[in-house]
Structure 1
Amino acid sequence: MNTSKYWMCRKNNGQFIHYVDKLPEDLSGTWTASIDFDRRIEIQKHHSATHLVHAALRGILGDHVGQKGSLVDEHHLRFDFSHFEAMTDEQLEEVEQLVNEKVQENIPLQEERNVPIDEAKERGAMMLFGEKYGETVRVITFDDDYSVELCGGTHVGATGEIGYFRFTNETSVAAGIRRIEAVCGTQVDKLLRDEKRLLQQVKGAIGQTQDLAADVLKLIEEKKALEKELEKVQMQNTGAKLDELIQSAGSLDSGINLVKGEVPGADMDALKQLGYDGIQKTKKNTAIVLGSKDEEEGKVYLMVALTEDLIKEKGLKAGALVGQLGRLVGGGGGGQPNLATAGGRQPEKLAEALEKVNELIKESIS
C-alpha cells in the first residue's frame, strides 16, 4: 500500500485541494484521505484556546486589541495582536486565569454555517481587518457574551476539552504589535511535569526546606557576598603584582621608566584600576604597560598608562600606543592620553606585544 504524508489543504474556486509530500508512481485506483486523529485533537484545543485568549485580551487590555496574526499546531499557539506596550506579569496572570475559568465552565461549541454576513456583524462577531468575506460566513461561538468570531478552522466540542491553558512567552514583533505564545492540552501537561521535575531537582540540591524561595534568595545573596570577597582578594593579588613590576621596572635609553608585564587573571577593569594606581604610585617619568589573557575564551587585554610629564614633555599618548599593541594581538583599542586599553583575539601573542613596547615607545618620541 502506497502512503503519502499530508501537508496542507487549500480551497481554490470552491474546491478543496489536498497537498502531499510525494505522489505514487501508479495513480490508478481509489485513494482515501485520513486524518492524524491525535494531532487533530491537539490542534483543536490550541485553536479554540486562541479564541478564548483573544476575548480575554480584549476584556482585560481593552477593545483596541485586534488580531494581527495567528498560528496554531499540535504543540502550541501563537497570537499577534495590537497593543501599545508590553503586558505586565499581572495582566498575563489575569488573562491566563480568565481563559482557564472559561475552560472550567466547559462552554459548548456553537457552530453556525452560512450565516449572512450582515447578521454576523449585527451580532458583534469578531472579524479580521482586511480579510475578504463572502455573503455568508461560519460563526464560532463560545458563550454569546464572551467569544463570537468568524472562523473556518477546527474546534473542540466544548471548552473543557482544552484541559488547561498556560502562557509561555510574551514579546514584541513590531511597533504597536505584541505576540503571546501558549500551550494547552497534552503540551501543558508536559510543561507542568517538566516544571515539577525541575522543582524537585532544585529542592534536592538545596535540601529539605520550608520556604524554597527564601532559601534560594539567601543562596543568591551569599553568592554575591562571596564574589565581592573574591574580587577583593583578586585586587589585592593584582595590586601586589603591580608593586612587584614597579620594583623591577627597567629604564629606556630616553630615561623613561618602563613598568610592564603580564598580570594573570586580571580583566580589563582590573587593568584599568592598576593603571590609575600605578600613575599615583610612580608620579612621574613612567610608562606602565600591563596585559592579561584568557586563553579559554580566546581573549587578551592590554592597558597603557602614562604619567602627565611624558604626555607634555615627550609627546606620548596612551591611546596611540595601545592601538599599536592591540593590532599585534588581533584587535584594537584606544582611550585618553594618560590611560587607554585594547583587546584582541590572539592571547598567544601577548608576550610578543609586550616585547615590542620598548621599540614602540622609542619610535613615538623620536
Structure 2
Amino acid sequence: MEPLGLYVHIPFCRRKCFYCDFVSYPGKEALADGYIEAVIKEAVLNKEYLEKRSVDTLFIGGGTPSLLSPKQFLRLVSGLGAACRFDLNEATAEANPETLDEEKIDAYARAGISRLSIGLQSHDDGILRRIGRAHAFRDFAKAYETAAKRFSNINVDVIFGLPGQSSESFVSTLEAVLNFSPQHISAYSLKLEPGTALAEGYEGASEETDRRMYHAAARILSERGYRHYETSNFARPGFECAHNLKYWTGAEYVGLGAAAHSYITDGVHKRRANTRSLEGYIAAVNRGEKPVAEETVLSETDILTEYIMLRLRLKSGIDFAGFEKRFGFSFADRFAEQIETAKKAGLIERDEHGIYPTLSGFDLQNALICEFVNAI
C-alpha cells in the first residue's frame, strides 16, 4: 500500500491576521500542552491507518506552529513518532518570523523536521501592518538567516493583491525574497473571505492588477530557475512540496487536530473533517472518541470530478495513461471535444501523453475545470 501523508493542525496564534479565515484561536496558548497530548492520543485512535501503513510526509501547519515552545514541539513529534510508522521523506513545519528563534530552529532540526515554511507575505512594513501581521521585514530576515544555517529546504509565502500594494511593490517583494535564495516560493492571490476584518473595508485589487502581479511572479521566478509546478507554487528542481502534492494527486493522508481533514480509503473513499472547536476537540479525544464532525463517502463521479479539478492545478496536468489505469477509460476519447475547446482557447497544451495547463489556463482555472467537469 502507498504511504500516507500526515497533517497536524496547530490552532494557536498570537493574533488573527486581518485576511485569515483559517481555524485559529488567539490567546489560548494555555491549552497547548493538553492539546498536544490530545493530538498524540488521536494518532493512537487512528492506529488502523497509522500503525498499518507507513507515513512518508509530515506537515505541521496552523495557526502558528512556531508559537509552541521547543519542549512542546519535541513532545509533539516524538509522541507522533511513537504512534505512527514514520518513514519520512519530508517533514514540514510552518513558522511566523516573529516567533522563530535559534532555540526553536534547533528543536525542529532535532525533531527531524527537514523543511521550513516561513510566512513573509510582503517585504513592505506598512503593508504588513495593514493586514495585521505581527512582524516586520527585519524579523523575517533574521529568522530566515538563522534558519538557513540548519535547513537547506525553506519555503517563503508571499501574497499579492494586498491593500496599498502596487505591481511594482509586489515585484520588490519578490526581489527581496530572491535575495535569500529559498528553495521554494508560494505566491498566493489574496482571497477576501467573508467575516474577516480585511473583507469589511477593502474591495481587493482589480482583476487586471491581480493578474499583472501573478504574471510577474511566473515570469520572474521562471527566469530565476524556479519551476511553476502548481497554480501558486514555484520550486527549484527537486524541491517541490511532497506533502502538498499528495493533496493535488489524490493520495491518501490523515489529518490530526482541531479542524484537520483526512482523505482515506477503507473499502470506500472517504473525506472527513474534525470538529473546529478547540475545547470540543480535546474533550472528545480524552473520552476516547474520534473528534470527527463530518464524513463524506465519495461516489465514483465525485472521485472523477476531484481528480480532474486537482490535476488541473498542476503543470503536469492529466496523464492519459495514468487516468486510464485509474478509471478504466480513455480521457482523450471521453473528453475529446472539451480538450479541443480548451486547446483552441489557449488554456492547455496537449501531446500524445496528456494535457497541461498553460499560464492562461491557470488564470482561468475555474473555467478550465468547468469545461471538463460539466461534461461528466
Q: Which category describes the TM-score, using the shorter chain as reference length?
A: under 0.3
What is the TM-score with the length of structure 2 in the denominator? 0.23
* Greater relative CO (CA pairs within 8 A, separation 6+): 2
TM-score, normalised to structure 1, is 0.23
